[in-house]
Structures are given as C-alpha cells and as structure tokens.
Homo-oligomer: A and B are copies of this chain.
Amino acid sequence: MTPTDRAALRQALLSPRAVALIGQSDDAAKTTGRPLKFLRQMGYRGTIYPINPRRETVLGERAWKSVSALPEPPDHAYILLPTEAVIDAVAECGRAGVKIATILAAGFSETGAEGTAREHRLRAVATETGIRVIGPSSLGVVNLREGVMLTANAAFAEPDIPVGRIFVGSHSGTMIGALMSRGKAKGVGFAGLVSVGNEVDLTVGEICLSTLDDPDIDGYLLFLESLRNSAALREFALGAAARGKPVVAYKLGRSSAARELAVTHTGALAGEDDVASAFLADCGIARVESLEGLLEAMPLVRRTPIRPAGARPPTVAVLTTTAGGATMVVDPLAMRGIEIAQPTAETFARFAAKGIEATPARIVDLTIAGARYEVMKAALDILTTAPEFDMVLAVVGSSARFQPELAVRPVIDSASAAKPIAAFLVPEAPQALAMLSEAGVPSFRTPEACADAIAAALARRAPKPAAPTPAIGDGRVLDELEAYALLDRLGVPRSPAVALDATIAQVPSLPFGYPVVVKVLSADIPHKTEAGGVALNVQDGDALVAAIKTMRATVQQRTGITPDRLLVAPMISGIGEALIGYRVDREAGPLIMVAAGGVYTEIYRDRSLRLAPVDLPTAHAMIDEVKAFATLKGFRGKPAGDLDALAKAIVALSQLALQNDPVVAEAEVNPLIVRPDGVVAVDALVKTG
C-alpha cells in the first residue's frame, strides 16, 4: 500500500466526515440500536445519517430512507441489517460513493454452501463498485480520539472510556469491548479498535497498515483467531518495526481443539500453531499467551531491546523481598525456557561491598529484613548495571500494599536504568501499581501475566525482510537422483549413490564399499518402503544382484509399476538423525523446519520452524529448540554430533526460498545422518511448485 492509499483508507476508516448507520434501530438496548447512542455519547463531531426506511425518527433523530436519499455520500457506513439484506445495501453504498462499508451480520462463508455463495456475491459487488468492506461479522470500528463509535459492542456503553496510544486489531468482535473495558480497569487506554470479522475484503493487516503514520498511535495489540491474509500482516509488522511501534499479539489455537473451532466459527483454514508462532516471531511481533499478558505486556515489550540472532540465551535477574513470591514468576518463566541466571561472583562482590547480605543463588533474596529503600535501591543499581543480565525483575512482598516507600519506591527510582525492569507485586496493591505505571515501570498484577510478558518481550526477534512468496502450481515429485542434484546445488551434503539398471544380472563395480542400501528409483513410487523398494545392509555383490532381482519383482507385484532403475548407496551411520524440511506454507510463506524425525518427534511436536531463508546463527538457535537433539550433544557418553554442519545444512536448504529454477513447493531430507564430523543426507523427497 502506498502512503497515499494508506492515508485515504485511514481517513475513511477512522476519521470519517460523515457516517451512515444502515438499519439503526429506535431501541438503544438492541444490538442495532447501539451505534447511534455510542456516537452521541462519545461526542462524534461528523455528520450521522441513521437509515431506517420504516421510521421517521430513531432515538429522537431524523431517520433517512436510504443511502441514495442522503445529501452527500458518507465516508463510512455501518450496515446493521440482517444477513439477507446486506448485499443490496453494500451495492447501494458502493454506487453512492461510500468508501467503506462495515458489516455486522454473520451468515457468510462460515455457514456452508449458501453462505459461501453469498460471500462470492459480496466480493463481486465490492469489486464492481470499488467500495471497501470490513466484515462480515464485524462488531465495528472505533476511534476514541474522535468519538467514532461505529460499533454494536455493548461494552462501549462504558462511561469515561480512556483514550490512549495503542491501536487494536481483532478477529473477535467481543474482544474490542473486552480489551477496552479491561484496559480501563487497569489504566490502559486505546487510540482505536477494529473488529475485522471475516476479512472478506479489508484484513487486519491492511487496516493496521493504514494507521502506521498516525502520530497518535505508538503501538498495536492484535487478537488473532487464525493466521490468514498474512502478506498484509507481514507488511504492516515490518512497517511498525521500522517506525519503532511494537506489536503484541494473542493468537488462539495453541490446542488443536481451538484450531478446529476457528474453522467452524470463521471459515478460516486451521494452520499449525507453531507455524503461526514462527510467522509472528519472524515479523517481529511479540506473542503473548494470556489475556492479562496481552493487556499488560506493551510497556515491557517497548522497553526491551530486540536481541540479535546468535546472542546467548536471554537472562533475567530476580531481586525480591519474598522468595516464595518471586518463585511464582520464576516457575512459569522457566517453563517457557527463560533462564534465571545466578549473578556472577563479581556482582555478589558488589553486593558485599555495599553491605547487602545476599546468599549466592539464582534469586537475590533480600528477605523481609531487606525491604528497605537503601538496600533495595543499591541492589537494583547493581543488577541493572551487571553485564550478565538482559532484564531485572523486582518482586515486592507485603510491604508494597501500605509501605511502598520501602521497596516499591526504589523500583520507581530505577525506572531510567539502562536495563528494562519489570515489577510484580505479590499482594493486592493498586496504589503501588499505579505509581509504578505512572513512572513508566512495566508492572504486573499476576505472576503468570508477568512471566508471559517477560517471555514475550525477550523472545522478540528482528523482523525478517519479506521475500516474495513463490507462486506454487501443480509441480511434480523429483526422483531421488534429481533431488540429490538439487541438494548438490544447494550445498547440502548427501550420500554418494549410483543408479543401476533394474535388470542387471552381473555384479556391478561400485565407487564405494559394502554394505550398501538399494532403493527403487522412481518419482512414481514415493513410499519406497511400503512398495518393497528398499533393501538395507546388503553385504556383497552377489547379495546385491539377488536383492535387485527380488526388489524388482516385489515392487512390480505391490505397485504394478516395473521399476527401470535402482539407486545403490553405502550404508551410513552416525550419532543420530535429523529431519530438515522446507515448504511454501499456504499462509505463512516459505518455511524451514528441523526436527529429530521419527515417530516420537511427531508425537511430541518437537520441531523448530522459521520463515525461510535463515542465517547460520538462526539455524543454531533452531537446533537448540529441538529437545531431542540433546542426544546429539554428547548424551550418556556418546560422542557429540557435528551441529555446525547440521546448522549449515539447514541454512543451505532454506535457500530454496530464493530460487526459481525450479520453484520448490516442498523438500524433505529425512534422515540427515549426523556424524561427529559432518552430516549426510541419505534420503530426500522434493516436490516442485
């Protein structure tokens, strides 16, 4: 989207000079009665055209018969009509020159064949007339700064809605009200909120894109039900990152049950959750896992620098007056892989020099006796300047409630430290939380939200520049020799192999020794083992000829295909195996994956994903994420595998994202044998796009 397009969209969306409420009811208690009430309540200063052909007035205001009867085309129409009446209304709006129609009704592609047909007609009308559409199933568009309350969400009856600098894009309509009302209770205000519904036309990415240069917006919260329309989302995220505007997202669908629900509910496709996670992370978006985390994470995410790929794992210093309270945060943090590192001996020496008693441990526990301003402040000064930490977490016990001067004030007075500080207060302590918040110290109400925000902030990655996603057509499966040739071009080491005629009767001479493996060589037989097309551990030439003869017969019998050629390769063993895979994901684009392979990896979903291509530090980070690779790191006295070679192979395969000849839709090296000195691909399956 060009800057001009963005500005035009933003204007019609968030700063409409006039709005139409099509189907506005006279009953303010009804869903369709709310928008007019809310617009008046928040003091919208543009022109409002309530449209209701059956009434002269609605809620005491003149009701217009139709959009075409209006003296001017409004910028933005909120269509509150029942499903069946929506398309005609959109068409009328489009013809009248309305720029955006937001649709409340449900009943489109999420409801089966009839709904899908309706959605097609809606798209056609939009394309024909040039009108942009938000929804269907949109609870509306809100710009709190200008009182634009094009929403039917009942929660917006809230008085004194605070205005802030965060913009919300949400797949769920309920959530715009929930975030607003919950935010108010926490002192968090928003600039605007949009419920994007089913995204038939305008997507959450495009809508957020349009607001990128809004000077009164300095951060984004996204509530996502699935990963869809990801190109615009990525473009937006990159733009936000370039402007230093952090994006925090909550995405439903960590469980497969929830992903199934997203399909039923919105008609979206259900991708795999770790694909969505990889996508969001590689867009520089911080993903939280709780509702409280979504509302509370922004200040900490904003203050936490993005760590470069290849940096050591992030470490958090924990300073507390209550070990039990601090452990409530440490426990969920550790479950998410965030290391609570023990201060170095140097740091403990600095404590001692200041007369601070601190037992060498991973938590600096001042105990109740240390809940004093001087002690706490000195300890914070030391930890915020200790080079071994990326962040300092201060956990304050019961004194926070009535004596914040003891242990909360020193945290406030450390707000400008060079390192981000997060605070968790163990008792209910609203005043102290407000003091911290006002001073700009990210602070949290629950240990779980605190851990969620810290993990999300520290996991944030630099966004990866968007590469064009290769167009995928109906490709073909390469045979193994062709696949090996592709690996050779990419620089993924692979086993030597020779192709033999399947009718061979004499012992061939091989460029490698026995034992060997024999595999049927045919793109038409992807499942070689099931077809009887693999013979392992063939010990000598005679056995090889015999194996080939048997294989030819078995394959023919099982598949009906008479194999022409066979591939012979040496038997190769190593410390263990890996699976590396590349594919162009329908939603996320080119992806690279590494896993241990095998049945258990599948059961435990133990794999690491990134948007492709990746660099070497990223490949190493991926390897570190796969738990099963513990067996490659000198496990139980076994030698270690060559993880650097594994990382290089990941990088090499990920370069498929940049190549067009051929376009590759999917490539899987499984297994890649990991040896003490190098890696070797011994099987590869490649499908072109």
Contacts and interface: CB of A to CB of B under 8 A. Distances in A.
A403 B29 contact: yes
A630 interface: yes
A323 interface: yes
Interface in A618-663: 627-628, 630-631, 635-636
Interface in A395-435: 397-399, 401-403, 426-429
Interface in A332-362: 332-335, 339-340, 359, 361-362
B604 A334 contact: no
A437 interface: no
Contact of A427 (B182, B325, B359, B604): B182
Going nearest first, the 7 A-B pairs with the smallest beta carbon separation are A172-B324, A255-B334, A174-B322, A257-B334, A181-B428, A155-B398, A258-B331
Interface centre among A177, A363, A636 (most CB of B within 10 A): A177
Nearest to A195: B324
A291 B448 contact: yes
Given A291-B448, A604-B606, 18 more contacts: A154-B397, A154-B402, A174-B324, A178-B325, A181-B401, A185-B428, A225-B324, A252-B328, A254-B332, A255-B332, A255-B333, A257-B340, A258-B334, A261-B323, A265-B361, A291-B328, A600-B600, A603-B628
Interface of A: 29, 31, 106, 111, 139, 152-158, 170-175, 177-178, 181-182, 184-185, 223, 225, 252-258, 260-262, 264-265, 290-292, 321-328, 330-335, 339-340, 359, 361-363, 365, 367-369, 371, 397-399, 401-403, 426-429, 446-448, 599-600, 603-604, 606, 627-628, 630-631, 635-636
B175 A426 contact: yes
A57 to B, nearest CB: 24
Contacts of A172: 322-325
Contacts of A332: 254-255
Nearest to A367: B106
A324 B173 contact: yes
A166 to B, nearest CB: 17
Contacts of A403: 29, 154
A197 to B, nearest CB: 11
A606 B603 CA distance: 11
A327 B268 CA distance: 14
A178 B398 contact: yes
Contact of A362 (B182, B257, B631): B257
A292 to B, nearest CB: 6
